[in-house]
Structure 1
């Protein structure tokens, strides 16, 4: 039995699908099991109940357990879980303690908690999520211009399905135990590139217009983001202006197929921008 936290989320849903397709026994944790839709044979359960009985492996989504990892990991050991696969972040820097950015620090703290259990572990470390482009959806629906900071900032956005495929492999096979695969998409794109590609896929000419960082910051912290995280992200964006990002080969090495392009991601989510 493999337990998947955050099973209806962007990544967790793909982990569930990959495991189910492989014939694994899956228990998918979600806040609302009655409303969730999973592949046939997948057991749905409430996250808050921590139903880990009979589980041998656990997919741990960082966003689900920021405040409760210790309790969950303790229950996992008691239930006989042998392996934990953590969805972490490439913001975690090797050989850096403490981490020098708040995003890396949050994820490294979770990784360390997992390692202290003595269980087998794999920390999947994706870079920029392609789903971050959803932040522009409302602007794109309203017009042909996206406003934001640092138009020339480079990212290598990764499709959530590729993260799910790597995580599922780590849960099912032994070759990634003790590893920290860093994942990227197959191409380095500026924010302006990404907006242009969205336009090409949905059939509208779109452009990205740069605004001062302080203006972008106010919009970022107007939602769920803390000022510390917003400032950290803006520093990252500024630091990658004009600097194409290294492309990791790990998705293809681990899954046996190339990482999906950003254009493929847009095509998979086109209704969100229309």
Structure 2
């Protein structure tokens, strides 16, 4: 059984690849730029670009299962090619944003919903993973924290339930190597709701020093963050954060149900990644 892992350089994709390879499964890694992939010995590497259907055949040849990052462009064509190649199971990394009340009007949610809809229409057996906020999003604060500068945030009291990327990978690997999760849609969260301010407090405690927070107005956030992300995406994020102020995020027991152990906490993630936040010499 060959498993194709797309987005093999990503924080989740690489973890999935490593788990499957360690367990002795035949794994194929794919990327738009395969020359930049560094994979374990014995892992086949192929080019796959969902915007280039001519890359589908070679990437899918002999593949039985696929771990797929959601990419709206080319999704319908990819699923048709996968069906034709004999793929028997797709595990899709989607997003919990599709469950929001305004998902149809939300650019982030719509991106993932388009892929989910195309997968459903394809009739391919599938498992859909809908994680919420990644714990690794906190790395966006690392530059300021290393430099001893305030972390600038709009809506610092917005809640999320950050999920550890290792938990997402564990659930994905279980889905790819078993049959019980086929046909299911799983929402993944961390075990506890935390505000951004509370997440920073965890990092401050582990670092043993204060991390000041400077709250930005929405206008300041649009000006500053708009240099790094498209306006529709930024608008979506700011709306989500504004709606989450003072409202604890819901949590699920999916990680425990699938793996038999509790989900990893944000504190655990912070401890494992503390070096990224250590003060500069």
Q: Please confirm whether the aligned pair reaches a TM-score higher than 0.5, indicating the same fold.
A: yes
Structure 1 residue 163: deviation in Å? 0.8
1:50-74, Cα deviation, whole Å (9 max, x unpaired): 3111101111101xx3322223222
**In structure 1, what is the Cα distance between the partners aligned to 2:199 and 2:102?**
34
Query: Paired residue for 1:8?
Result: 9
**In structure 1, what is the Cα distance between the partners aligned to 2:260 and 2:161?**
19
C-alpha contact 1:156 1:189 (8 A) present in aligned 2: yes
What number of residue pairs does the alignment pair up? 270
**In structure 1, what is the Cα distance between the partners aligned to 2:153 and 2:45?**
39
Determine whether 1:91 maps to 2:97.
yes
C-alpha contact 1:93 1:99 (8 A) present in aligned 2: no
Query: Paired residue for 1:114?
Result: 119
Query: Paired residue for 1:268?
Result: 272
**In structure 2, what is the Cα distance between the partners aligned to 1:231 and 1:214?**
11
Structure 1 residue 205: deviation in Å? 1.7
Query: Paired residue for 1:176?
Result: 181
Rate the CA distance shift 1:255–1:39 in 2: closer, same or farther, 3 A. farther
1:250 aligns with one of 240, 254, 258: 254
Determine whether 1:36 maps to 2:32.
no
C-alpha contact 1:155 1:244 (8 A) present in aligned 2: yes
Rate the CA distance shift 1:66–1:272 in 2: closer, same or farther, 3 A. farther
Scaled by the length of structure 2, the TM-score of the pair is 0.90
**In structure 2, what is the Cα distance between the partners aligned to 1:129 and 1:145?**
22
Could you list the runs of 4 or more consecutive aligned residues of structure 1 that deviate by over 6 angstroms after TM superposition? Answer: none
1:122-143, Cα deviation, whole Å (9 max, x unpaired): 1100001111112211211222
Give ranges in structure 1 of 5+ residues lacking alignment: none
Structure 1 residue 245: deviation in Å? 1.1
Structure 1 residue 97: deviation in Å? 9.2
Query: Paired residue for 1:150?
Result: 155
**In structure 2, what is the Cα distance between the partners aligned to 1:262 and 1:123?**
23
Taking the TM superposition and a 5 Å limit, the aligned residue runs for 1:201-240 are 201-223=206-228, 225-240=229-244
**In structure 2, what is the Cα distance between the partners aligned to 1:30 and 1:266?**
28
Structure 1 residue 164: deviation in Å? 0.9
**In structure 2, what is the Cα distance between the partners aligned to 1:148 and 1:68?**
35
**In structure 2, what is the Cα distance between the partners aligned to 1:206 and 1:68?**
43
Rate the CA distance shift 1:98–1:247 in 2: closer, same or farther, 3 A. closer
Give ranges in structure 2 of 5+ residues lacking alignment: 50-54
The DSSP-based 3-state class of the residue aligned with 2:92 is strand
The DSSP-based 3-state class of the residue aligned with 1:92 is helix
Structure 1 residue 99: deviation in Å? 2.0
Structure 1 residue 4: deviation in Å? 0.6
Determine whether 1:56 maps to 2:64.
yes
Question: After the TM superposition, which of the residue ranges 164-173 and 199-208 deviates more from structure 2?
Answer: 199-208
**In structure 1, what is the Cα distance between the partners aligned to 2:35 and 2:142?**
29
Scaled by the length of structure 1, the TM-score of the pair is 0.92
Structure 1 residue 98: deviation in Å? 6.8
C-alpha contact 1:127 1:156 (8 A) present in aligned 2: yes
**In structure 2, what is the Cα distance between the partners aligned to 1:32 and 1:254?**
33
